[in-house]
Structure formats: structure tokens, C-alpha cells
Chains A and B, each alone.
Chain A
Amino acid sequence: KAGVTQTPRYLIKTRGQQVTLSCSPISGHRSVSWYQQTPGQGLQFLFEYFSETQRNKGNFPGRFSGRQFSNSRSEMNVSTLELGDSALYLCASSLAPDREYEQYFGPGTRLTVT
């Protein structure tokens, strides 16, 4: 079974631009979560989607948004990029948003903002 796929793997953007990252969960998984990983702040929860609905949102500004499609694929968008948005963005999928279900992480998208 294929794992979680994230595209693109690397991205370089300029301040003020916007970016869209994509995540394809493991087949059959319906819950997708997003995390931001930076050297200073570590791993921080961004948001979680299940059945095309956002179930949880972390403490990030409104510039960060996401959505989930009917096939469970998810995208996250960051508008008006800032230098501090440079990070590894990780996507995780699980069968459902229940604490007993394991989450499987993708390899991440490395975003660099210049």
C-alpha cells in the first residue's frame, strides 16, 4: 500500500506570494492533519480535516487555510508569505479522527521563503 504522498517536496517562494501544498493520504484513510516543523518552534499542529470538514485548527493566523476533497486528498494554502513561514510542512493521514487510530506521516514539503 502506498504511503502518504506530498507534493511538491521542495518549494522556494518570495515574500508576499502565496503557496499551495498537496497531500494524498493512504488509500482508505479519511482523516488528514497538517503540521508545521521549524527549528525554533518544533512541530506544531495546523489543522485536521475529516470528510471534507475542518475538525480542529491550531493557533495559526488566517493566512493559513486548508481544504479536503471528496477523495480525501487535502491541500493547504498560505497567503502573503512571510520569512517565518519557511518550514517543513508535514501531512499525516489516519483512518478516522479517533485517538486510537495511528497517524502516518508523509515526507513533507520543504518551503523556503526568500
Chain B
Amino acid sequence: AQSVTQPDIHITVSEGASLELRCNYSYGATPYLFWYVQSPGQGLQLLLKYFSGDTLVQGIKGFEAEFKRSQSSFNLRKPSVHWSDAAEYFCAVGRGKAAGNKLTFGGGTRVLVKP
């Protein structure tokens, strides 16, 4: 069965500093990978996705992520964090067409931004 691990439950970062959130997945084939963000009381917003091709993908709000097959990782990065980036971030993996749109999510990483 596929699984997603986000090793960091909480991360505190100063405004203007860089941010990296870790995501490791377990899946037999090439997965489809996603990062979502959830602000308090809100649903999930898609930040970026990886299906194939260039392993460095750009998303919204200045985020990027790099797929590393050898490490089964899909880490999310942002060069300079803004106070509005404080939220919970979820990594997710999707499978092939037979599984439709079913996503398996990691446990999430809550990001706190210090002024």
C-alpha cells in the first residue's frame, strides 16, 4: 500500500528566511505527487503537482518542489517566507487511472512564521 510521510510535524521559521518541508513516499511505480496548503478553517489549496518530466516544479505563491526518485522524496521549498505562509502543508500521492482521484495524504507540517 502506498504511504506518505512528513517527518516534521511543526516548523518555525523567521519571516524572510527560507523554508523546506520534507515529504517521503512509498509507492511501487512512479507516483503523481502534490502539495496542498490549508489555512485555519479553510479547505485545501493546491500549491503544485508533479506528474512527469522536469523534476523541479514551480507552483503558486513562490513555492517549488523537487522530485527525487532515488530518495522517494518530494520536498517543498520557498526562498523567502512571508507571514501569510503560516499554515499547514500536506504532501499527497495519487496512483494510476485505476485508482481515479484517490489521494493518500501525509500527516501534515504546521508552519509558524516569526516576525
Contacts and interface: CB of A to CB of B under 8 A. Distances in A.
Contact of A100 (B36, B51, B99): B51
Contacts of A48: 100-102
Given A99-B32, A99-B96, A107 B42 contact: yes
Interface in A66-112: 90, 92, 94, 97-108
Contact of B43 (A33, A100, A108): A108
Nearest to B104: A45
A98 B32 CA distance: 11
Q: Give the dominant DSSP class at A's interface.
A: strand
A23 to B, nearest CB: 11
Given A43-B90, A99-B94, A94 B101 contact: yes
Contact of B101 (A42, A43, A90, A101): A101
A80 to B, nearest CB: 25
Give the bracket for the number of chain A residues in contact with chain B. Answer: 20 to 34
Contacts, number: 71
Give the bracket for the number of chain B residues in contact with chain A. Answer: 20 to 34
B101 A97 contact: yes
The residue among A42, A43, A103, A105 with the most chain B CB atoms within 10 A of its own CB is: A43
Contacts of B99: 56, 99
Interface string B71-111: 00000000000000000001010111101111111111000
Contacts of A97: 97, 100-101
B45 interface: yes
A112 to B, nearest CB: 14
Contacts of A63: none
A31 B94 CA distance: 15
B102 A103 contact: no
Given A43-B90, A106-B43, A99 B104 contact: no
Given A107-B42, A107-B43, A108-B43, A99 B105 contact: no
Interface of A: 4, 31, 33, 35, 42-45, 48, 50, 55-56, 58, 90, 92, 94, 97-108
State the 3 A-B residue pairs at the shortest beta-carbon distance, nearest first: A97-B100, A105-B43, A43-B105
